[in-house]
Amino acid sequence: MELHSDETIWYFFKKGEANGFSLLFKKYYPQLHVYGLKLSNNQEITEDCLQNFFIQLFEDREKENSIKNLKAYLFVSFKRRLIKQLQKNQKNLPISEAQLFKTNFTFSAEEISIHQEIQFLCTSTLANLINNLSPRQKEVLYLKYYSGMNSSDIAEVMDMNYQSVLNILQKALSKLRKASENQQIKNILKKS
Amino acid sequence: MDNKHKFDLQYFLTDASFKNWAKGLNKNDITYWNNWIQSHPEYLETVENAKSIVTGINFNQNYLSSDKVNNALSEILPKLDIDSSTNKKTKKLRSLNSVIFTSAAAVLLVLISYTSFAYFTNQSTTIHKTNFGEIIDLKLPDGTSVVLNGNSEISYENDNPRLLYLKGEAYFKVKPIPSTNAKFWVVTNDLKVEVLGTQFHVNTRKQKTNVVLDEGSIHLEFKNGEVTKMIPGEMVSFSNDSEKLVHKKVDIKTPYALWRGGTYAFNEIPLEDVMLNLESTYGLEVEYSSDSLKQIPISGGIPNQNLKICIAAIEKATGTRIINKGNILRVQENPIY
């Protein structure tokens, strides 16, 4: 059960009281924490960055007048901050955003539920397949099905248009579906 | 459905009945779309793609535990410059000597409780008190965390911060000190809780003391001399009237009302009992337009940091209308439902 809408949370947050801050923090800290870990693969940097992010968000709360979509806004601004920090930490070897994501955003078999539409693959095979997708495909899958964002929010977070999000989703999932179908055929052949 | 439509991905994805078909949810939708596909085989590929997007991948979300989130929260709160109104509120403090904050906001209390050890080290007793509807997170000098609910108070002698007196309701996460095996005590009117490292909840309201143990182990010593040991997941109630002890296992089937850092968790608790919690936390009176309303069961989490939000959540959960008029809450049927 979702107790408060984001509008309510943001309203109380903007009032500058501890309760409003706690509401927003409790709802979004866990989500941003996992997202940060997926992006950086580094707990210490993620947590430092998150703390500073929330402090700054609180200090700047009056500047942010009209936030249309709180979740997308938080994800995108936290991501920017985290990437900046990661780049700072690796000043000597500058890395592009693309390189950064190539090494990260991996999923473990435990993170994948066995109740799948793509039912002919075991969770570790599915995890492998997902991990071998392109970084953008992985991030879109993550935002859509792990964080439960809708496609227009994802477009905002990924800084691309709505249609591109759909295309990426379509490509990624059809790859997984094909692998599942192949497995299904193999299973049938084995039996006969 | 006519052919003026462009049957692309977006078309299917924005159609609610298509989503139902993809998830196998609604019989009518399933029949409709099965027929539609048969008569439009040229769109099969797009339909399959749209279906995979709707059903997607089932991830097991592995979010941080609420304990860890609360820890992070209690680390960050003192770093915030919370509201300039802090200055105005300071005037309301009667005297810092008594260390009783009668009308300060929760915000201020959080700040003060973090600094109080610097200011009041020469005082022999430290008292943390909350008003109606306030909640504060405290870190005691020994590293123990306490979440103090509204209208509650804890106090301790500064030379022994591991012996606490509690009135009202609080959640404790005791830091173990393995080197000395130092114990931790919580004393209420009815009982004394003896603790090693552990997490538990004590509620002394309503002529009754409830202790719920989440982790670790504790001993309870009641004022009638009875001693009992608790195991995790257990709830012990001591009633003042009957002077009787009741052990209960907290599980999905037993009705319970628990409080954890800012949220009440209820399981099949009648509205009347839920409102009793509000009465003691916020200092309110509750009226009902009919007695049948009292029995509506509630399950789920109700946040209690803010009365407005709390009432809204209860209204939603019970389908009633609750009107707040000068400290009296009137519960009535909601004509919309």
Instruction: Inform me whether the C-beta atom of residue A111 falls under 8 Å from chain B C-beta atoms.
Output: yes
One fold for both A1-104 and A106-192?
no
Give the integer Cα–Cα distance in Å for B21 and B51.
Answer: 9
The CATH number of B256-333 is 3.55.50.30
Burial of residue A5 (number of CB atoms within 10 Å: 0-12, 13-18, 19+): exposed
- Phi-psi region for residue B294, left (φ > 0), alpha (ψ -120 to 50) or beta? alpha
Task: Kindly state the tokens that stand for B144.
Answer: 């123990």
DSSP state of B284: -
Residues in CB range of A63: below 8 A, 6 or more apart:
none
DSSP line for B90-136 = HTT---TTTT--SS--HHHHHHHHHHHHHH-TTSSEEEEE--TT--E
Q: What is the mean pLDDT of chain A?
A: 83
What are the helix and strand counts (H, E) for chain A?
9, 0
Amino acid in position A123: T
Q: Name the CATH topology of A1-104.
A: Rna Polymerase Sigma Factor; Chain: A (1.10.1740)
Answer whether B300 sits within 8 Å of A113, measured CB to CB.
no
- Domain range summary for chain A, segments of one domain joined by +: 1-104, 106-192
Q: Which of A29, A111, A169 sits opposite B69 (nearest CB)?
A: A29
- A72's tokens: 């997308």
Is the pLDDT score of B103 beyond 60?
no
N- to C-terminal Cα distance for chain A? 48
Residues B179, B99: Cα–Cα separation, whole Å: 32
Helix (H) or strand (E) holding B308: helix B307-318
- The answer to whether the CB atoms of B76 and A19 lie below 8 A apart is no
Q: Pick the most confident of B62-71, B85-94, B241-250.
A: B62-71
Q: Is A126 on the interface with B (CB under 8 A)?
A: yes
pLDDT of amino acid B304:
64
Measured CA distances, B156 to A11, B125, B153, B249, B277 (Å): 37, 6, 10, 31, 26
How many Å apart are CA B170 and CA B144, to the nearest integer? 12
How far A28 CA sits from the closest chain B CA (Å)?
10
B262-265 long-range contacts (CB < 8 A, ≥24 apart) are B262/A22, B262/A26, B262/B135, B262/B147, B262/B303, B262/B304, B262/B305, B263/B301, B263/B302, B263/B303, B263/B304, B264/B301, B264/B302, B264/B303, B264/B304, B265/B300, B265/B301
**List of residues 6+ apart from A14 with CB closer than 8 A:** A20, A61, A62
* 3-state DSSP assignment of residue B245: strand
| pLDDT for A105 | 80
Q: Are B220 and B236 in contact (CB under 8 A)?
A: yes
The answer to whether the CB atoms of B61 and A34 lie below 8 A apart is: yes
Residue B121 — pLDDT band, cuts 50, 70, 90?
very low
Say whether B57 and A177 touch across the interface (CB within 8 A): no
Distance separating alpha carbons of residues B171 and B243, to the nearest angstrom: 24
Least confident range from A112-121, A146-155, B207-216: namely A112-121
Indicate the residue of A4, A30, A174 with minimum beta-carbon distance to B52.
Answer: A174
Note the pLDDT of residue A52.
94
Fold of the domain spanning B66-249: Jelly Rolls (2.60.120)
Dist CA B211 CA B215 (whole Å): 12
What is the percent of chain B where pLDDT is above 90? 4
Q: Are A169 and A177 in contact (CB under 8 A)?
A: no
Lowest-confidence pick of B151-165, B217-231, B317-331: B217-231
Highest mean pLDDT among A152-161, B54-63, B208-217, B273-282: A152-161
Task: Give the residues across from B249 on adjacent strands.
Answer: B234
Q: Confidence band (pLDDT; 50, 70, 90) for A141? A: very high
Q: How many CA atoms lie within 13 A of B142 on its CB side?
A: 26
Q: Domain locations in chain B?
A: 9-55, 66-249, 256-333
ipTM metric: 0.81
Quick: pLDDT tens for A58-102.
988 888 767 778 999 999 999 999 988 888 877 655 555 555 544
CA distances from residue A172 to A56, A75, A121, A122 in whole angstroms, order as listed: 36, 22, 15, 18
pLDDT (tens digit per residue) in B187-215: 887 778 888 667 777 877 766 777 877 77
Our CA angle for A101, A124, B46, nearest 5°, is 70
| Among A residues 146-165, those touching chain B with beta carbons less than 8 Å apart | 146, 151, 162-163
Query: CATH for A106-192?
Result: 1.10.10.10
Q: Look up residue B64 and give its DSSP letter.
A: P
B249 SS3 class:
strand
Q: Is B73 near chain A, with CB under 8 Å?
A: yes
B265 — contact with chain A (CB < 8 Å)?
no
Q: Are B227 and B220 in contact (CB under 8 A)?
A: yes
Question: Does the structure show a pLDDT above 80 at B105?
Answer: no
Residue with tokens 């008003």: B131
B64 Cβ under 8 Å from any chain A Cβ: yes
pLDDT at position B143: 82
Distance (Å) from the C-alpha of residue A2 to the closest C-alpha of chain B? 9
The confidence score (pLDDT) of residue B119 equals 38
Most confident range (mean pLDDT) of B85-89, B190-194, B231-235, B287-291 is B287-291
